[in-house]
Amino acid sequence: MERALMLGGGGVTGVAWELGLLAGLAERGVPVTEADLVVGTSAGSVVGAQVCSGVPLEQLYEAQLAPPSGELAARLGLAVLARMMWAGARTRDAVRARARIGAMAVAARTPSEASRRAVIEARLPTAQWPARRLLVTAVDASSGEFVVFDNDSAVSLVDAVGASCAVPGVWPPVTIGARRYVDGGMRSVVNADLAADARRVLVIAPTSGAFGPMPRLSAQVAGLRAAGSRVVVVTPDAAARKAIGRNVLDPARRAGSARAGRTQAAVVADEVAALWA
């Protein structure tokens, strides 16, 4: 495999910043959405499904500038983060840590699954899996097992993306069959190691932090490079971080985040083009 595009988590502002960045790169002649493999984690799963849908990237970007509607109010506050870290940091076993986070997510008071599913469905241009190779990550809330959904998984795209975006303590775990699933970012904010077979890898990561036994993005990138892959990582610059603000789930920050991503594309375009050409 030649090229992989890895899209990381980061809330509604992460969706907007990623789409702004991708639109800005395309404007400068660097069409990275034409990758052989697209992997989406959490917010990145929304972006991955969108850019693989066939809808023009410029149209997807413009939608981020519209007044937010149809989104449920939410905040990823310190209390939720503290519960998440406490649940996940009490063991060095990554699978057990994720299972504890999953248990916390199942017990949390959240909006209904149906209301959250409606939001996810409204974000996607189509409910059908694309012909292109798209992977969507999630975590089994009970076992802590890392799960990768694709077109062969017999799971709807809406449910796969919903599972990948199910932030523990904020959104309800997503029920698929007899199992419930939470955010793929509970395993890794990008899950960059899924690009192990790609010669060239572009990682777009609205956030890059980790806690407990969660694999660090830097370690995953180092592993890719050690195996011979060329890798470029793009994270928000200072202006983008200011636009995103402290609450990545705030829809009011969406337009500013999208514009900041598009502006940042001018700064990183040459480096990305050198990787992608």
Under 8 Å between Cβ of 204 and 45: no
CA distance 144 to 155: 19
Yes or no: say if 276 and 200 are a contact pair by the CB < 8 Å rule.
Answer: yes
**What is the domain extent for residue 199?**
3-72+109-276
Quote the pLDDT of residue 135.
98
CA angle (74 as vertex; 70, 79 as ends), nearest 5: 170
Measured CA angle at 95 (ends 97, 169), to 5 deg: 45
Provide the domain count of the chain.
1
Residue 84 lies in a domain: no
Q: What integer pLDDT is reported at residue 212 of this predicted model?
A: 77
Catalytic residue (one of 183, 188, 229, 250): 183
pLDDT score of 91: 74
92 located within any domain: no
Domain annotation covers residue 85: no
Ranges of residues in the chain with a pLDDT under 70 are: 73, 77-79, 81-82, 86-89
- How many of the other CB atoms lie within 10 Å of CB of 72? 15
Please indicate, yes or no, if residue 95 is contained in any of the structural domains: no
Report yes or no on 81 lying in a domain. no
Pairing of strands 179-183, 134-140: antiparallel
pTM of the predicted protein model:
0.94
86 is a domain residue: no
| CATH code of 22's domain | 3.40.1090.10
Residue 119 in any domain: the answer is yes
Q: Is residue 91 assigned to a domain?
A: no
CB count within 10 Å of CB 40 equals 32
Q: Which pLDDT score is estimated for 68?
A: 81
Of 42, 45, 53, 257, catalytic: 42
Q: What is the pLDDT of residue 30?
A: 96
Q: Is 42 a catalytic residue?
A: yes
- Provide the angle, in degrees to the nearest 10, between the axes of the packed helices 254-276 and 11-27: 50
* Pair 2, 199: CB distance under 8 Å: yes
CB 1 within 8 A of CB 37: yes
d(CA 132, CA 5): 12
